[in-house]
């Protein structure tokens, strides 16, 4: 009887010893206070000795990826549990509530999608490792009922964090270090300032931070705490500090090389995209800005269609569909984009004729006029400095017939201008030639006698000349001397016949030394014939 009792008491210990020691690749140190079972083909949580304090089951793929409370009923004395890379997908309610002595829990490199309410209740940890659980979802109740001094959420591809997620860990003043490096957070919510201010150290490097006015508070916090709170991994030989991933003017720059003034916002821009058919159409409003704006369509009937930015998009597009038979389709549509940099609006007037004979429509039956002014803006940001004015014009696409007609019209216009110009030049040339031809005046009789062949003809212009000069005979007429008469505007040459002995003038001239009607001009004519270079006065 005594021996049988001893045998019954030793069976459980023997069973645990066999279960741990017989696992291929699992090492149980003397006394089995520490069991190392990494990559040992374990498919479930094995039973352990009651004196085991440290259990490492890293990189063993469990058949059941869901952790439940019943899996840990024999782990009440465990202090360190490592379940890294075991393919765990979820944690049920109150899974660790019996593990009151646990101080370190490593659930990193798993596939945990969400930590549901109450999953970690009862834990009083020094270290909680959740890094590399890609796309893990954290809620305001994920850390309710537990505490930890160090929380590692690195490399989880988290895109958004708010302070209320960590509030349960701050309420007991236990959280000292928060590791958030290597995630996808573009902008930390301003509420996180309360979290960062209460912890001793944070890591936020490796996030694609957008360094605009929404992140200015983070820069200011960094400047005040960079030597105490922001952790630098100097031992790794790399500069692990926050770095900007946008906007363009600060992309790639570290926080320590920027000032708070560099963290500014840009007013959004708007672009309209319109497409219409006979019975329906689409209005699209595309906006860009830093930060990415919120875009809203205001219909004529007052209905508002809003669209918030998602993720790290470069632009946001908000579309509304128009139906010809829908009441309230016609009228003014207004698109409004707003961010911390300001507000901008764009108005589109839709006039959709239901009859083909209706005037004012375009080819597709829609006449659109768009205009954006500051009056159209609904200001949601009182700190906005300015509102932009944008004009959008509907683009007309020209057909082949339009283009050919434009080319022919240009050619004909050019031809007409050329003909008119040439005609004007020819007219001017003829006019100049007319003035260069001797103008014959009427002859007047002289009371002093005349030649039998009549008086010598003289132009009226010659009587107004201020200077006359006789030239040598031209080479082609050596025996016929001539003289040229000049005035300010015209030139004419008159041949002087040898038989002419005197000149008679038909016009009367008064002046110093000029020949007057009736006076003898024989001496003057003789001088003209015999002294070619003399001056006639």
Rounded distance between C-alpha atoms, residue 37 and residue 60, angstroms: 8
Q: Is 173 exposed, middle or buried (0-12, 13-18, 19+ CB in 10 A)?
A: exposed
pLDDT at 198 over 80: yes
Instruction: Report the C-alpha dihedral over residues 87, 169, 92, 63, rounded to 10 degrees.
Output: 20
Residue 25: predicted pLDDT: 67
Distance from chain centroid for Cα 460: 79
CATH number of this structure's domain 23-262: 3.80.10.10
**Count of Cβ atoms closer than 10 Å to residue 33 Cβ:** 14
Q: Tokens standing for 259?
A: 């000032």
Rounded distance between C-alpha atoms, residue 4 and residue 21, angstroms: 25
Domain ranges of the chain: 23-262, 266-397, 398-435, 460-536
Tens digit of each residue's pLDDT (9 = 90 or more) over 431-440? 777 665 554 4
Mean pLDDT for 1-22 is 40
Q: Tokens standing for 534?
A: 């003399």
Residue 21: predicted pLDDT: 57
CA distances from 308 to 214, 293, 339, 378 (A): 16, 8, 11, 16
Q: Is 38 exposed, middle or buried (0-12, 13-18, 19+ CB in 10 A)?
A: middle
Exposure pattern of 61-89 as b/e (b: 16+ CB <10 Å)?
ebeeeebeeebbebbebbbbbbbbbbebe
Stretch among 12-16, 69-73, 243-247 having the lowest mean pLDDT: 12-16
- For the full predicted model, state whether its pTM sits above 0.85: no
Q: Is 107 exposed, middle or buried (0-12, 13-18, 19+ CB in 10 A)?
A: buried
CATH number of this structure's domain 266-397: 2.60.40.10
């Amino acid at each position: 009887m005594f021996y049988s009792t001893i045998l019954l008491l030793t069976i459980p210990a023997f069973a645990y010893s066999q279960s741990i020691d017989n696992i291929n690749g699992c090492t149980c140190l003397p006394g089995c206070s520490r069991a190392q079972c990494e990559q040992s083909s374990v498919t479930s949580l094995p039973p352990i000795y009651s004196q085991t304090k440290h259990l490492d089951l890293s990189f063993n793929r469990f058949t059941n990826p869901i952790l439940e409370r019943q899996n840990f009923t024999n782990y009440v004395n465990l202090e360190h549990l490592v379940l890294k890379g075991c393919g765990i997908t979820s944690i049920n309610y109150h899974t660790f509530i019996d593990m009151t002595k646990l101080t370190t829990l490593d659930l990193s490199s798993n596939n945990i999608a969400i930590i549901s309410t109450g999953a970690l209740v009862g834990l009083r940890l020094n270290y909680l490792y959740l890094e590399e659980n890609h796309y893990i979802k954290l809620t305001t109740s994920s850390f309710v009922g537990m505490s930890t001094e160090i929380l590692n959420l690195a490399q989880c591809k988290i895109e958004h964090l708010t302070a209320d997620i960590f509030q349960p860990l701050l309420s007991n003043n236990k959280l000292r270090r928060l590791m958030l490096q290597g995630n996808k957070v573009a902008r930390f919510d301003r509420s996180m300032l309360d979290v960062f201010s209460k912890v001793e150290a944070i890591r936020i490097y490796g996030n694609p931070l957008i360094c605009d006015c929404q992140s200015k508070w983070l820069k200011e916090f960094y400047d005040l705490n960079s030597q105490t709170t922001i952790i630098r991994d100097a031992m790794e030989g790399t500069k692990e500090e926050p770095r900007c991933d946008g906007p363009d003017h600060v992309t790639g720059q570290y926080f320590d090389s920027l000032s708070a003034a560099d963290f500014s916002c840009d007013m959004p821009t708007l672009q309209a995209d319109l497409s219409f058919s006979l019975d329906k159409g689409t209005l699209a409003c595309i906006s860009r800005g830093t930060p990415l704006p919120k875009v809203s369509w205001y219909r004529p009937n007052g209905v508002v269609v809003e669209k918030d930015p998602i993720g790290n998009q470069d632009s946001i597009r908000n579309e509304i569909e128009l139906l010809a038979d829908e009441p309230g389709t016609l009228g003014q549509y207004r698109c409004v984009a707003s961010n911390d940099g300001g507000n901008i609006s764009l108005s589109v007037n839709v006039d959709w004729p239901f009859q083909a004979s209706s005037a004012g429509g375009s080819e597709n039956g829609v006449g659109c006029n768009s205009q954006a002014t500051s009056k159209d803006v609904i200001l949601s940001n009182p700190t906005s400095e300015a509102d932009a004015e944008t004009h959008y014009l509907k683009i007309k696409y020209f057909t082949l017939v339009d283009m050919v007609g434009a080319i022919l019209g240009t050619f004909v216009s050019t031809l007409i201008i050329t003909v008119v110009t040439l005609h004007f030049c020819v007219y001017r040339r003829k006019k100049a030639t007319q003035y260069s031809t001797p103008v014959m005046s009427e002859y007047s009789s002289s009371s002093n006698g005349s030649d039998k062949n009549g008086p010598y003809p003289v132009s009226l212009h010659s009587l107004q000349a201020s200077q006359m000069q006789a030239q040598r005979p031209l080479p082609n007429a050596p025996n016929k001397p001539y003289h040229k008469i000049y005035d300010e505007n015209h030139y004419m040459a008159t041949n002087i016949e040898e038989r002419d002995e005197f000149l008679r003038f038909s016009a009367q001239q008064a002046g110093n030394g000029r020949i007057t009607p009736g006076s003898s001009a024989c001496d003057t004519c003789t001088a003209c014939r015999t002294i070619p270079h003399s001056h006639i006065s």
